[in-house]
């Protein structure tokens, strides 16, 4: 069927044509009526009618009215005199929201951080996405260099285990500093703050466990396959639960400071003098207790057990000694 033989356009046809016509005119304008009509397989008369009505379409402005600046604008002198369609203003199309400079810089910083986690073959995609965000921002993003903390083990071993669906084997130091041999079906590799973690099914404990990679020794691959039921496990949102650690520490802090230590998943257990609260946090190692207190000086105070208090005191004394020598 030729363009001139098309039946009269219905409302649905017009909506469909307008959705395609505007992007076409943005790319090819100015264009003759005959050429546009042939492109969309409509008659020249229908195309002229579409163009005339296009000038009455747009988006309501801040006041909720369709004022002149809120409508599509056509060069009608060129249209009426020479049968040429020239789209001068396309409302809504050019007003696509863009990231601000600070927003783009934040996204770029996050992607730079991620690039240190993904496999080498995927980093090119991350680099391309960083460049695309920079081009699409409303202002040039600030130059921010973000480096990913160096992993304490060879992550390639874990990534190969993911791809081959096999277990890994390593020695792991527990909270008392004792080392145990573990065979683990790896399920997820995480970087939280500056600490790397491996989540997986521990065959020694026959349960889901989270392992700090800075406590892993002699990481090796194995030929043992990961069981399908373990690969299908749904991992909980929290990084640790009480089974992952064997060191429960009670700390004291102001109730409005609980949000500061939310990443440690404190469990409030009662009130303390001065309006403070007592909360229990599970730690994988005594050193982690001292690091937590050091991050929030004057905010978090260890109450029990005695070995946790001693670890914090020792950490403070060692820090003071290093400062005195400086």
Please determine, for residue 263, whether its predicted confidence score (pLDDT) is greater than 50: yes
State the pLDDT confidence band at 71, using cuts at 50, 70 and 90: low
**Integer Rg of the chain from CA:** 32
- Tell me what the pLDDT averaged over the chain comes to: 79
CATH number for the domain harbouring residue 260 = 3.30.70
What is the enclosing helix (H) or strand (E) of 288? helix 286-295
The residue among 212, 239, 266 that closes a domain is: 239
Q: What is the pLDDT of residues 175-218, one digit of tens each?
A: 666 789 999 999 988 887 778 899 999 999 898 888 989 889 99
Predicted structure pTM score: 0.46
Q: Which tens digits make up the pLDDT trace of 146-159?
A: 667 788 999 989 99
pLDDT at 1: 37
What Cα–Cα distance (Å) separates residue 227 from each residue in 104, 166, 181, 183, 232? 42, 9, 20, 13, 9
Instruction: Give the C-alpha separation, 53 to 22, whole Å.
Output: 12
Phi, psi angle pair for 174, to nearest 5°: -85, -175
Q: Look-up: residue for tokens 């903390």?
A: 149
Between 1 and 117, the more confident residue is: 117
Out of 222, 239, 256, pick the residue that ends a domain: 239
Write down the pLDDT at residue 3.
40
Mean pLDDT across 287-291: 83
Distance between CA 10 and CA 238 in Å, rounded?
Answer: 56
Check whether residue 216 and residue 185 sit in a common domain. yes
Q: What is the pLDDT of residues 130-146, one digit of tens each?
A: 787 777 676 677 666 66
Q: Is the pLDDT of residue 255 over 80?
A: yes
pLDDT value, residue 316: 87
My answer on whether 229 and 287 are in the same domain is no
Which sign does the torsion angle of CA 24, 29, 35, 37 carry?
positive
* Dihedral angle of Cα 40, 44, 49, 53, to the nearest 10 degrees: 50
Q: Same domain for 60 and 125?
A: no
* CATH number reported for the structural domain that contains residue 22 in this entry: 1.10.10
Q: What is the structure's pLDDT at 304?
A: 92
Residue 4: which pLDDT band, with cuts at 50, 70 and 90?
very low
Mean pLDDT of 252-274: 86
Position 70 scores a pLDDT of: 58
50/45 Cα distance (integer angstroms): 9
Percent of the chain with pLDDT over 90: 22
Question: Do residue 212 and residue 251 come from a single domain?
Answer: no
Residue-wise DSSP of 158-180: HHHHHHHTEEEEEEEE-TTS-EE
Domain shared by 182 and 109, yes or no: no
User: Is the per-residue pLDDT at 123 higher than 90?
Assistant: no
- Percent of the chain residues past pLDDT 70, beyond the cut: 76
Q: Are residues 121 and 176 in the same domain?
A: no
If asked whether residues 188 and 257 sit together in one domain, one would say no
pLDDT confidence of residue 201: 94
> Within this chain, do residues 19 and 60 fall inside the same structural domain, yes or no?
yes
* pLDDT at residue 222 greater than cutoff 80: yes
- For the segment 227-246, what is each residue's pLDDT rounded down to a tens digit? 999 988 888 776 665 555 56
Task: Quote the domain boundaries for residue 288.
Answer: 245-325
Edge-to-edge strands, sheet with 276-283: 267-271, 276-283, 247-254, 301-304
pLDDT of residue 200: 93
Residue 277 confidence (pLDDT) above 70: yes
How many domains are there within the chain? 4
279 and 297 in a single domain? The answer is yes
Domain end marker among 51, 70, 89 = 89
């Amino acid at each position: 069927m030729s363009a001139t033989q098309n039946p009269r356009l219905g409302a649905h046809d017009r909506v469909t044509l307008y959705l395609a016509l505007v992007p076409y005119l943005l790319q090819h304008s100015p264009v003759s009526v005959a050429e546009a009509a042939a492109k969309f397989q409509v008659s020249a008369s229908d195309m002229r009618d579409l163009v005339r009505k296009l000038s009455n379409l747009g988006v309501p402005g801040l006041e909720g009215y369709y004022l002149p600046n809120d409508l599509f604008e056509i060069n009608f002198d060129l249209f009426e005199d020479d049968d040429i369609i020239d789209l001068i203003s396309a409302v809504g199309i050019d007003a696509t929201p863009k990231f601000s400079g600070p927003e783009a810089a934040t996204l770029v910083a996050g992607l730079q951080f991620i690039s240190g986690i993904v496999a080498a073959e995927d980093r090119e995609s991350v680099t391309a996405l960083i460049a695309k965000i920079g081009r699409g921002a409303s202002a040039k993003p600030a130059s921010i260099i973000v480096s990913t903390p160096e992993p304490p083990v060879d992550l390639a071993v874990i990534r190969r285990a993911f791809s081959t669906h096999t277990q890994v084997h390593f020695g792991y130091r527990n909270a008392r500093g004792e080392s145990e041999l573990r065979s683990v079906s790896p399920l997820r590799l995480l970087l939280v703050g500056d600490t790397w973690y491996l989540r997986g099914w521990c065959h020694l404990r026959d349960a889901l466990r989270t392992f700090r990679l800075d406590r892993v020794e002699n990481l090796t691959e194995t030929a043992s396959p990961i069981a399908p039921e373990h690969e299908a496990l749904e991992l909980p949102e929290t990084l640790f639960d009480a089974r992952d650690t064997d060191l429960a520490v009670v700390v004291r802090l102001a109730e409005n400071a609980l949000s500061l230590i939310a990443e440690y998943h404190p469990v409030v257990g009662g009130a303390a003098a001065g309006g403070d609260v007592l909360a229990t946090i599970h730690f994988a190692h005594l050193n982690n207790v001292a690091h937590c207190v050091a991050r929030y000086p004057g905010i978090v105070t260890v109450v029990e057990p005695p070995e946790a208090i001693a670890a914090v005191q020792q950490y403070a004394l060692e820090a003071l000694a290093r400062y005195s020598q400086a």
